[in-house]
Structure 1
Amino acid sequence: MSGALNLTELREGGTQDLGEVNRIMQDSFDPRFGEAWTSAQCLGMLALPGVWLVVASLDGEDAGFALARAIGDEAELLLLATRPDARRRGIAGALLRAIVAEARARGVVQLHLEVRAGNDAVRLYRREGFEKVGERRNYYRGKMGQAFDAHTYARKLG
């Protein structure tokens, strides 16, 4: 069924979704790289002004999410994850486009994101118009203490 888009729903999420967000994140982010957030970090972020969560369902089951925040006329994609068994079905792209649409609706003119160097998600970000604008050496800390670079990307929305 790979490649078939069965996306049934994109919806605004909230604190009631944190349990599922955490499960998706733990399934999606390889602990070797230290990219996953804790539940407390997600809860703290959702409490801030300008933050929004989009949840994607596939065949009635939560399959992915995106978390972003806007400050003034700029926004940042904080997290984007799709369950491994639901990948390659357009979910991440749909979530990213939903974040872009909401950012525009909030008056954002530039959207930023950060991603581990070598992460396959870079293909999606480039396809959706993001360009690399910077690098942070040794930014992520993996489970075994290894350091991984982060690359920053941006896309103009205005």
Structure 2
Amino acid sequence: MTTRVRLIELAPGGAADAEAVDRIMGAAFDPRYGEAWTRSQCIGILAMPGVWLTLARVDDVVVGFALVRAIMDEAELLLIAVDPAARRRGVGAALLRGVIAECDGRGVARLHLEVRANNPAVALYAAHGFVRAGVRRDYYRGTGGQTHDAHTYARDLRA
């Protein structure tokens, strides 16, 4: 019996990868929650200083991404998404570890993120040392005008 292990490759991305990011965003974020960004929002923020995109590939196919913004010694994980067909295979954890390592290399002391309340990704963040820092009531506006709270999390990288 042979078991094939698929390696997850992390690499920098850019505006040229907008189609792949858009494809994953459309598959990964349920529109009823209003969490996804538009392609133009992603491309626009990539032009800003301190912003970077990390792509996760398996067998040369982009299966996930993370978008981060750093200002001085703090950073925010703006978006992280994994194609549903590639979930539960370590892609999200690899992206998160990659973001943390890149932040550390850039001298970031604290990494922030926000996530919709009750999002299953909370377990991933907790497993990587993130602690809940606050709540933003009615932050996400989904289909039909329904709102959802966002929880903010943070992790000290120099502790």
TM-score range, shorter chain: over 0.9
* Aligned counterpart, 1:104: 104
* Equivalent runs, 1:5-154 vs 2, <5 Å: 6-154=6-154
RMSD: 1.0
Q: In structure 2, what residue type is equivalent to 1:156?
A: D
Q: CA deviation at 1:8?
A: 3.6
Gaps of 5+ in 1: none
Q: CA deviation at 1:97?
A: 0.6
Distance 2:25 2:80 in 1: 9
Distance 1:112 1:140 in 2: 17
Distance 1:143 1:37 in 2: 14
Runs of 4+ in 1 over 4 A off after TM superposition: none
* 3-state secondary structure, aligned to 1:23: helix
Distance 2:139 2:70 in 1: 22
Q: Is the 8 A contact 2:132 2:153 kept in 1?
A: yes
Q: In structure 2, what residue type is equivalent to 1:66?
A: A
Q: CA deviation at 1:5?
A: 5.8
Q: In structure 1, what residue type is equivalent to 2:150?
A: A
Distance 2:93 2:55 in 1: 13
Distance 1:130 1:62 in 2: 26
Q: CA deviation at 1:103?
A: 0.6
Q: Residues 83-106 of structure 1: CA distance to partner in whole angstroms, max 9, x if unpaired? A: 000000000000011111111111
* 3-state secondary structure, aligned to 1:43: helix
Q: CA deviation at 1:144?
A: 1.3
Percent identity, aligned pairs only? 59
Q: Residues 31-77 of structure 1: CA distance to partner in whole angstroms, max 9, x if unpaired? A: 00000000111011100000010000112211000000100000000
Gaps of 5+ in 2: none
1:136 to 1:20, Cα distance in 2 relative to 1, 3 A: same
Q: In structure 2, what residue type is equivalent to 1:114?
A: E
Distance 2:8 2:142 in 1: 34
* 3-state secondary structure, aligned to 1:57: strand
How high is the TM-score relative to the length of structure 2?
Answer: 0.95
